[in-house]
Amino acid sequence: MNAPAPLGPPDVLTALGASFLLHEHPDAVEPRDVCALLGVPLERTVKTLAFVTPGDRLLLAALPGHARLRYGALARAAGVRRGDLSPAVEAADLLAAVPAAATAPIADLPT
Protein backbone atom coordinates (compact mmCIF):
# COMPACT_ATOMS: atom_id res chain seq x y z
CA MET A 1 0.00 0.00 0.00
CA ASN A 2 1.38 3.44 -0.94
CA ALA A 3 1.66 6.21 1.64
CA PRO A 4 -0.35 9.34 0.81
CA ALA A 5 1.58 12.19 -0.75
CA PRO A 6 2.58 14.89 1.76
CA LEU A 7 0.42 17.98 1.83
CA GLY A 8 1.88 21.20 0.47
CA PRO A 9 0.97 24.66 1.79
CA PRO A 10 -1.73 25.23 -0.89
CA ASP A 11 -3.35 21.89 0.07
CA VAL A 12 -3.37 22.83 3.75
CA LEU A 13 -4.83 26.29 3.09
CA THR A 14 -7.51 24.81 0.83
CA ALA A 15 -8.40 22.20 3.47
CA LEU A 16 -8.79 25.01 6.01
CA GLY A 17 -11.02 27.00 3.66
CA ALA A 18 -8.52 29.87 3.71
CA SER A 19 -8.52 32.44 0.93
CA PHE A 20 -5.12 32.84 -0.68
CA LEU A 21 -3.40 33.86 -3.89
CA LEU A 22 -0.56 31.61 -5.03
CA HIS A 23 2.33 33.38 -6.76
CA GLU A 24 4.51 31.08 -8.84
CA HIS A 25 7.98 32.23 -9.77
CA PRO A 26 11.14 30.85 -11.35
CA ASP A 27 13.60 29.10 -9.08
CA ALA A 28 14.81 31.64 -6.56
CA VAL A 29 16.01 30.98 -3.04
CA GLU A 30 16.83 34.32 -1.50
CA PRO A 31 13.86 36.55 -0.52
CA ARG A 32 15.34 39.57 -2.33
CA ASP A 33 15.62 37.51 -5.54
CA VAL A 34 11.99 36.38 -5.26
CA CYS A 35 10.86 39.97 -4.70
CA ALA A 36 12.90 41.20 -7.67
CA LEU A 37 11.31 38.56 -9.90
CA LEU A 38 7.81 39.49 -8.67
CA GLY A 39 8.44 43.23 -8.71
CA VAL A 40 7.50 43.56 -5.04
CA PRO A 41 9.69 45.44 -2.53
CA LEU A 42 10.88 43.15 0.27
CA GLU A 43 9.58 45.70 2.80
CA ARG A 44 6.02 45.07 1.54
CA THR A 45 6.10 41.30 2.12
CA VAL A 46 5.29 39.11 5.10
CA LYS A 47 6.92 35.82 5.98
CA THR A 48 5.55 33.13 8.25
CA LEU A 49 7.82 30.82 10.22
CA ALA A 50 6.39 27.67 11.82
CA PHE A 51 7.64 26.10 15.06
CA VAL A 52 6.56 23.21 17.27
CA THR A 53 6.63 23.69 21.04
CA PRO A 54 6.37 21.12 23.84
CA GLY A 55 3.15 19.18 23.71
CA ASP A 56 3.21 19.38 19.89
CA ARG A 57 1.70 22.87 19.93
CA LEU A 58 2.15 24.62 16.59
CA LEU A 59 3.41 28.20 16.72
CA LEU A 60 3.25 30.46 13.66
CA ALA A 61 5.29 33.66 13.61
CA ALA A 62 4.39 36.23 10.93
CA LEU A 63 6.71 39.19 10.48
CA PRO A 64 7.72 41.67 7.78
CA GLY A 65 9.74 40.04 5.01
CA HIS A 66 12.79 42.19 5.68
CA ALA A 67 12.78 41.64 9.46
CA ARG A 68 14.79 39.15 11.48
CA LEU A 69 13.02 37.02 14.05
CA ARG A 70 13.92 37.62 17.69
CA TYR A 71 13.72 34.03 18.94
CA GLY A 72 13.83 35.03 22.59
CA ALA A 73 10.92 37.44 22.11
CA LEU A 74 8.94 34.76 20.28
CA ALA A 75 9.60 32.24 23.05
CA ARG A 76 8.51 34.75 25.74
CA ALA A 77 5.36 35.63 23.77
CA ALA A 78 4.52 31.92 23.49
CA GLY A 79 5.32 31.22 27.15
CA VAL A 80 8.06 28.68 26.38
CA ARG A 81 11.83 28.51 26.72
CA ARG A 82 13.94 29.52 23.72
CA GLY A 83 15.35 25.99 23.54
CA ASP A 84 11.84 24.55 23.25
CA LEU A 85 11.27 26.13 19.81
CA SER A 86 11.78 23.56 17.04
CA PRO A 87 11.15 24.28 13.36
CA ALA A 88 7.92 22.65 12.15
CA VAL A 89 8.77 20.16 9.44
CA GLU A 90 5.45 18.58 8.40
CA ALA A 91 2.72 20.52 6.49
CA ALA A 92 0.09 18.47 8.38
CA ASP A 93 1.14 20.33 11.57
CA LEU A 94 -0.45 23.45 10.09
CA LEU A 95 -3.94 21.93 10.43
CA ALA A 96 -3.65 22.30 14.20
CA ALA A 97 -2.80 26.01 14.02
CA VAL A 98 -6.21 27.56 13.48
CA PRO A 99 -8.04 27.12 16.83
CA ALA A 100 -6.07 29.73 18.79
CA ALA A 101 -4.10 32.68 17.45
CA ALA A 102 -2.10 35.32 19.31
CA THR A 103 0.00 38.29 18.28
CA ALA A 104 3.12 39.78 19.85
CA PRO A 105 5.92 42.21 18.78
CA ILE A 106 8.63 39.66 17.88
CA ALA A 107 10.60 41.30 15.03
CA ASP A 108 13.46 43.75 14.76
CA LEU A 109 13.10 45.86 11.62
CA PRO A 110 16.33 46.87 9.90
CA THR A 111 17.04 50.58 9.85
pLDDT in tens, 35-80: 888 899 999 988 888 888 887 788 889 999 889 999 999 999 999 9
Over 70: is that where the pLDDT of 2 sits? no
List for the chain the helix, strand, coil content (%; round to 5): 35, 20, 45
- Looking at the chain, which runs of residues are DSSP E strands? 46-53, 57-64, 68-69, 86-87, 107-108
Phi, psi of 70 (to 5 degrees): -95, 100
Question: Where is pLDDT greater, at 24 or 106?
Answer: 106
Q: What is the pTM of this model?
A: 0.60
The whole-angstrom separation of Cα 61 and Cα 48 is 5
